[in-house]
């Protein structure tokens, strides 16, 4: 069985073709970027509309196939104008192949692709992307959220400060580079139970930037404080849930300092740290294809083709037996 996955929740329009062994036959992406601002949903959707056909055509060419048995689209959460582009293209291609189509929850796809691409078995999952910051684990048939951000997502918080510094979007990688030359300055630290909050800290570094504090020092200290907060709640989740693995997923997983901090914490506990391979850390169609295939294989069919801009991963029943390949039939 060969599956086309289409991703369009935010900045990335992606198309990928995956088989039931979990092999990625192709993975093509076109990412909206800007040097001046953030993401304006209608502008991003316009970008997706313009690149959709060429991205999907290339995905078929790279995979050397001209037919799929299932089309999967990213149904949410995400920016509604962008989700509309994805579902429309998915319908178009499913119709042309006369095959089934189902929607996949985007965060869930990040989680299960983390299991597809790593050896992790039963981890505490740390989902750190632009809009999302959640500490998640599979317990009693659902991926349950044990801690999360009380305001913005970690990536968006970094992007917001990057915008203040005039670094463009996405800002996380730029902040990571500047941080290499920085030194520590005192910042607030806001962990509340199992949750974290980033906005107040962003307000503080913005004030300090306006006062002329070196941007390298601000970037370094911002990373140290954000990543320490995340590491603290992750460790507490591991202790409560008695889990011996951490799996980091989402675009912020590309950050080396974050990985090293989590790795140090895991080592101290005798636990194992996994991060989704860098090439699959960001949004991509392959994870959408795999998620759809898991659900389709477990018997789910889409009753109503729609988008769900606010759907959370803990709303979804985990009907598939394992997220690991190969699928049985
Ligand atoms: P996603 O929404 O999962 O595609 O992730 C995108 C987010 O990851 C954006 O907010 C980026 O700024 C952030 N990001 C990407 N690379 C890095 C990095 N090296 N360090 C920190 N954040 C990053
Ligand atoms: Mg994502």
pLDDT value at residue 142: 93
pLDDT value at residue 328: 67
CATH superfamily, with its number, for domain 122-275: ATPase, nucleotide binding domain (3.30.420.40)
**Distance from C-alpha of 162 to C-alpha of 171, rounded to nearest angstrom:** 5
Query: How close is the Cα of 283 to the center of ligand 2, in Å?
Result: 5
Query: How close is the Cα of 225 to the center of ligand 2, in Å?
Result: 23
pLDDT value at residue 34: 80
**Distance from C-alpha of 248 to C-alpha of 156, rounded to nearest angstrom:** 17
**Distance from C-alpha of 44 to C-alpha of 53, rounded to nearest angstrom:** 15
pLDDT value at residue 3: 98
What are phi and psi for residue 142, nearest 5 degrees?
-140, 150
Tens place of pLDDT per residue across the chain (329 aa): 999 999 999 999 999 999 999 999 999 999 998 877 678 899 999 999 999 999 999 999 999 999 999 999 999 999 999 999 999 999 999 999 999 999 999 999 999 999 999 999 999 999 999 889 999 999 988 999 999 999 999 999 999 999 999 998 789 999 999 999 999 999 999 999 999 999 999 999 999 999 999 999 999 999 999 999 999 999 999 999 999 999 999 989 999 999 999 999 999 999 999 999 989 988 999 999 999 999 999 999 998 999 999 999 999 999 998 999 877 65
Confirm whether 2-111+281-315 and 122-275 share one CATH topology: yes
Beta strands 12-19 and 2-7, pairing class = antiparallel
**Mean pLDDT score across all residues of the chain:** 95
Class of domain 2-111+281-315: alpha beta
Taking Cα atoms as reference points, which of 170, 263, 187, 256 lies closest to residue 221?
187
Return the ∠ at Cα 171 (arms to 229 and 15), rounded to 5°: 105
**Distance from C-alpha of 258 to C-alpha of 175, rounded to nearest angstrom:** 12
DSSP 323: S
Cβ(7) – ligand 1 distance below 6 Å = no
pLDDT value at residue 329: 54
* The model scores a pTM over 0.85: yes
Cβ atoms within 10 Å, residue 159: 23
Cβ atoms within 10 Å, residue 183: 9
Cβ(252) – ligand 1 distance below 6 Å = yes
**Distance from C-alpha of 72 to C-alpha of 295, rounded to nearest angstrom:** 10
Cβ(123) – ligand 1 distance below 6 Å = no
Taking Cα atoms as reference points, which of 247, 250, 246, 290 lies closest to residue 270?
246
pLDDT value at residue 170: 84
Query: How close is the Cα of 139 to the center of ligand 2, in Å?
Result: 22
**Distance from C-alpha of 262 to C-alpha of 164, rounded to nearest angstrom:** 28
List the domain boundaries for the chain: 2-111+281-315, 122-275
Contact yes or no for 60/92 (Cβ under 8 A): no
pLDDT value at residue 131: 87
pLDDT value at residue 37: 67
Cβ(77) – ligand 1 distance below 6 Å = no
Query: How close is the Cα of 250 to the center of ligand 1, in Å?
Result: 7
DSSP 254: G
């Amino acid at each position: 069985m060969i599956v086309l996955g289409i991703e369009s929740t935010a900045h990335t329009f992606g198309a990928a073709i995956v088989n039931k062994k979990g092999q990625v036959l192709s993975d093509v992406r076109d990412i909206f970027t800007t040097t001046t601002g953030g993401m304006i949903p209608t502008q991003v959707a316009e970008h997706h509309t313009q690149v959709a056909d060429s991205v999907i055509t290339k995905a078929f060419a790279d995979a050397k196939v001209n037919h799929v048995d299932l089309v999967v689209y990213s149904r949410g959460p995400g920016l509604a104008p962008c989700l509309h582009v994805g579902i429309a293209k998915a319908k178009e291609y499913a119709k042309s192949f006369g095959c089934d189509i189902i929607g996949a929850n985007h965060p869930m796809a990040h989680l299960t692709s983390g299991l597809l691409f790593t050896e992790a078995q039963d981890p505490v999952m740390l989902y750190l992307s632009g809009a999302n910051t959640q500490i998640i684990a599979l317990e009693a048939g659902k991926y349950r959220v044990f801690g999360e951000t009380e305001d913005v997502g970690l990536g968006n918080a970094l992007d917001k400060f990057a915008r203040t510094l005039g670094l463009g979007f996405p800002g996380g990688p730029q902040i990571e580079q500047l941080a290499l030359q920085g030194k520590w300055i005192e910042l607030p630290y806001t962990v509340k139970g199992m949750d974290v909050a980033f906005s107040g800290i962003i307000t503080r570094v913005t004030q300090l930037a306006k006062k002329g504090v070196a941007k390298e020092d601000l970037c370094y200290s911002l990373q140290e404080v954000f990543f320490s907060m995340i590491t603290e709640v992750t460790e507490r989740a591991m202790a409560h849930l008695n889990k011996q693995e951490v799996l980091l997923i989402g675009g912020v997983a590309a950050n080396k300092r974050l990985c090293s901090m989590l790795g140090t914490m895991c080592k101290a506990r005798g636990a194992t740290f996994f991060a989704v391979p860098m090439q699959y850390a960001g949004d991509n169609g392959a994870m959408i294809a795999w998620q759809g295939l898991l659900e389709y294989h477990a018997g789910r069919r889409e009753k109503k083709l729609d988008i769900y801009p606010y759907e959370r991963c803990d709303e979804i029943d985990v009907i598939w037996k394992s997220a690991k390949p190969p699928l049985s039939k």
